Structure 1
Amino acid sequence: MMEFVLVGFSDSPHLQWVLFAVFLLMYVTILICNSIIILLIRYDPHIQTPMYFFLSHFSFLDICYVTITIPRMLMDIFSQKGNISLLSCAAQMFFVLVLGGTECLLLTAMAYDRYVAICHPLNYALVMNHKVCVQLVAASWISGIPVEIGQTYQIFSLPFCGSNRINHFFCDIPPLLSLACGDTLLNEIAVYIVAVVFVMLPFLLIIASYTKIVSNILKMASARGRVKAFSTCSSHLTVVVLFYGTASITYLQPKRNQSEGIGKLLSLFYTILTPTLNPVIYTLRNKDIMQALRKVLGKL
C-alpha cells in the first residue's frame, strides 16, 4: 500500500464548508492568540518569571501542535480529497505523538513550578532558577523523540492489506491499527506502555503536586491568600483536565472497543478544541497577562 485516504468529515457533505470556515477561524485564533502571549512574555520584564517562561513554551507548542493537523484537514476539505502518502502519514503521526508527549511533560513541569511556588515560596527563586527551567523544557521537548521514532516504525512495519481508508482527520494510532492485517496485540501493548509513561505517569505526578498544593492552601490563615493561590493554579488545572481526559480515553482504550465516531470526536477535543481554549483560559483568568496586554495597547 503506497497511500491512504483520510476520510475526515466527508460523511457530512452538507457541513463541509461550514467545517472549513470553523476550523480556519480556530486555526487563525490559535496562531494570533498564542503569538500575542509569546510576544507579551518576551518583551514585558514584569512577567519574565518561571511560570510565564513555561507558558510561552506551552503557547509555542500549541501553535506547532495544530499546524500538524489543521492545514492538512483544511486542504482535504477544500479539495474534497484525502489522499496522503505512506511517508506523509507516518511523519504526521510521529509529530502528533511527539508534540502530544511534550504537552504532557510540559504540563507536569508547570505543575511542579506551582508546587514549589505555593509549598516552598522562600526557596522558589533558588529551586526554579533559569537553568532548571531550561532543563525541564528541553527534557519535555526531547524525551519523546526516540520513543516515538520506534513506535512509528513499529506501526508502519505492519502489513496493511485491506482498505486504505482511514476514518479520521489525521493519521493516528487507533484508526491505523484497525486497518492492519494479522495480530496487532504487541503493537497495542506498546501503545499502552508509551501511554502509561507519557500520559498516566505525568498525570499522577500532577495529581500528587496538586494534592500537596491544595493541602498547603487550606492551611493558609488569610482568605485572600487562599483565593490568590487557587487562582494561580485554576487555569493550569482546567487545561490538564481537558487535555488528559480526552487523550487518555483515546490511547488507553482497547482498539476493539473504540467507536470510530467517538474516537474522532475525542481527537477533536485534544488536538484542536483544547489548543483553541488554552489562550482564553490563560489570559482571561490572568491579571498579569491582561495588564501587559493593556500596556501594549495603550502604547499603540
Structure 2
Amino acid sequence: MSETSRNTSLATPFTSDADLLAQTVIAVRAAGAVLGERFGEVVRYRTRAELMGALAANDNAVLDILRPRLAALRPQARWVGEEFDGGALPPGEWWIVDPVEGNVNHLHALPEWAVTATLVRDNRPVLTVVHLPLTGHTYTALAGGGAHLDGQPLHVSGTADLGLSIVATSQARPDEDETIVRRVGASITEMLIDALVVRIAVPATVHLVNVAAGRIDAFWQFAGGRADVLPGALLVAEAGGRVSDAQGRPWTLASESVLAAAPGVHAATVATLSR
C-alpha cells in the first residue's frame, strides 16, 4: 500500500484507507438493497419529462441512503453533484458517486446496472466500490492495494492478440454531440474489422469490471463523465491493466476519452482507434 493510501485525515476514526474502503462497501450495499427493491416491471414513460422524473426518483432513493452514510465516513470530503461532469477537481477529497449506473436499464427491467462510490484525493482515485445488487457481487479497488471481487483478487486477461479479443464500448450519454457520435460509430467499424467480437451497451462500468476480471480484453469510450469511468478505471489499473486515453496518453479526470485494456492488446487497440 502506498504512503498516500496509508495516510488519512485525523478528522476520521479510520487508521487506513483500507478501513475506510470496508465501511464504504457497507454503505454502498445498503443503498443497493433499496435500488434492488425498486427493480421489476418496466417503468413506462411518454415524455422526456416523465423519463427524467423516473430517473431522478431512482437516484434520490439511493442517495437518501448513501449520501449521509458517506458524509459520516468522511465529513471533510466534498461531493460531486452531477454525474456527467468532467474535468479536474479542486484540491482535497471528493466523493464521486453514481447512484444508479445504468439507470435507463433499471427502468427497462434490464439487469445491467450498479451503485458506485469513489473517493478521490487531490485528483487521484483512492478507493472505489461497485455493487451489483441483482447478483450481490461487489467489486472493490484500493490505490496500491489491488482490485477484488467479493474479496478475491482480480486480474486482467493475458490476451496478446486483438484479433482474438472481446472488446466493448458504451454510449456516454443520449444527447451526445454529433461529432462524437460519428467518432464512436467509426471506431466501432474499425474494431469490427480488427477484434474478434465487439460488445456495445451501457453502462460503461459493467464493461470495465469485466475488463478488470479478465472476461473481456479492452473497453473504450469517447466523452463521458467522471462517475461512469472512474470506478472501473481504478479497478482495471489495480487488476494489472493499462488505462489511457484513446490515443494512448495517460488518462486523467480531464481526458476526453478512455481506453482500459489488458497490457497485451493495449497498443493494438490504440492503433485501431487512431485510424
Q: TM-score range by the shorter chain?
A: under 0.3
Q: Which has the higher helix share?
A: 1
TM superposition score normalised by structure 2: 0.26
Q: Between Structure 1 and Structure 2, whose CA radius of gyration is higher? A: 1
Higher relative contact order, chain-length normalized (CA < 8 Å, sep 6+): 1
